[in-house]
Amino acid sequence: MQISPQFPQKQVFLASLLITTLFLSCEKKETELPSCDGVEWSYTGTEGPAEWEFLCTDYTTCGGERQSPVDISNAVPDNSLGSLQYNYQQTTLSLVNNGHTLQFNVAAGSSMEIDGQSYDLLQFHTHTHSEHTLNNQEFPMEFHFVHKNTATGDLAVIGVWVSAGAPNAFIADFVAELPMEEGETLQNGLSFFPNTLFPENLSYYSYEGSLTTPPCSEIVHWRVLKNSIQLSSDQIAAFMDLEHTNARPVQGLNGRSLLLFEE
Ligand SMILES: [Zn+2]
């Protein structure tokens, strides 16, 4: 009588499957992430950008497929996007050093519009060097104007690149008083319109992406202006001395479309 060789093979297969499953579930337990309460992140070392997605449960999106910033090259012209629609009100300088960036808080009442939806301007802040790159070239600085759609929770962020050149008159009014310590705020009564920091021509690149800091939520309609503004080398150096490098490296586009609207 011939014994079918399949039977013992099947047993071995099932046993190894069981062992593998046990092993995998053990391994999964070992890599369970902590809650993000009190978890620190930074731009270097063991809490740096490559590690963000592994730091805690709410930061796993940092390893997602629709992340920001990205390199901007080969953008496809699409004039159906329409001009940048914003309505900014005058605000008073309130500049906070939050330990990650210098953040300009603005008074309520400024907004922009995308596809008939209104997004309120919450704040703008700085990165040194730039986060978005143009044909793999970085700029010394980038401003981010963060707007929120209160109905959907989506964000719209306008990125403005900075080139080294002529001194910027608005920045000159407070660059000597930048808040050097984390938690410090500068309020000197200076009144201004946030679009003071926009270039004249508002052509822009458009793509769908994320916050560039943890939790890296993929909820951002990006508008990166094609034209840069200028700050003098000394002005840029003042921000750099304070922020060092607070720029996340560029992330893969992963098939997302990158469009260009030209004024
Ligand atoms: Zn930013």
CA distance linking residue 126 with residue 142, whole number of Å:
6
* Position 17 in a domain: no
Q: What percent of the chain has pLDDT over 90?
A: 86
* Position 5 in a domain: no
Ligand 1 centroid – CA 239 distance (Å): 14
Q: Torsion angle of alpha carbons 61, 67, 68, 69, nearest 10°?
A: 120
List residues with catalytic annotation: 100
CA distance linking residue 8 with residue 260, whole number of Å:
63
Beta-sheet pairing, 259-261 with 76-77: parallel
Q: Which residues contact 115 (CB under 8 A, 6 or more apart)?
A: none
Query: What band does 32 get if pLDDT is binned at 50, 70 and 90?
Result: confident
Q: Which residues crowd ion ligand 1, with CB under 5 Å?
A: 144
pLDDT (0 to 100) of residue 29: 42
Ligand 1 centroid – CA 145 distance (Å): 8
* Position 26 in a domain: no
The string of pLDDT tens digits covering residues 202-241 is 999 999 999 999 999 999 999 999 999 999 999 999 999 9
**CB-neighbour burial class of residue 44 (10 A; exposed 0-12, middle 13-18, buried 19+):** exposed
**Can you tell me which residue has the tokens 């679009």?**
195
pLDDT (0 to 100) of residue 198: 98
Alpha-carbon distances, residue 103 vs 8, 41, 123, 163, 182 (angstroms): 68, 18, 7, 20, 11
pLDDT (0 to 100) of residue 25: 47
* Position 29 in a domain: no
Q: How far is CA 101 from the centre of its chain?
A: 12
Ligand 1 centroid – CA 125 distance (Å): 6
Q: Provide the number of structural domains found in the chain.
A: 1
pLDDT (0 to 100) of residue 10: 54
The larger pLDDT score, comparing residue 101 to residue 3, is at 101
pLDDT (0 to 100) of residue 226: 98
CA distance linking residue 117 with residue 179, whole number of Å:
35
Q: Which residues contact 240 (CB under 8 A, 6 or more apart)?
A: 128, 140, 141
pLDDT (0 to 100) of residue 229: 98
* Position 2 in a domain: no
> What is the value of pTM for the model shown?
0.87
Ligand 1 centroid – CA 34 distance (Å): 25
**218 C-beta neighbours (distance < 10 Å), count:** 16
**CATH no. for residue 246?**
3.10.200.10
* Position 120 in a domain: yes
pLDDT (0 to 100) of residue 9: 56
The string of pLDDT tens digits covering residues 141-170 is 999 999 999 999 999 999 999 999 999 999
Ligand 1 centroid – CA 47 distance (Å): 18
The DSSP 8-state label assigned to residue 119 in this structure reads: E
* Position 24 in a domain: no
pLDDT (0 to 100) of residue 243: 87
- Take residue 49 and report the two structure tokens written for it: 């950008």
Range of the domain at 248: 49-261
The string of pLDDT tens digits covering residues 78-112 is 999 999 999 999 999 999 999 999 999 999 999 99
* Position 12 in a domain: no
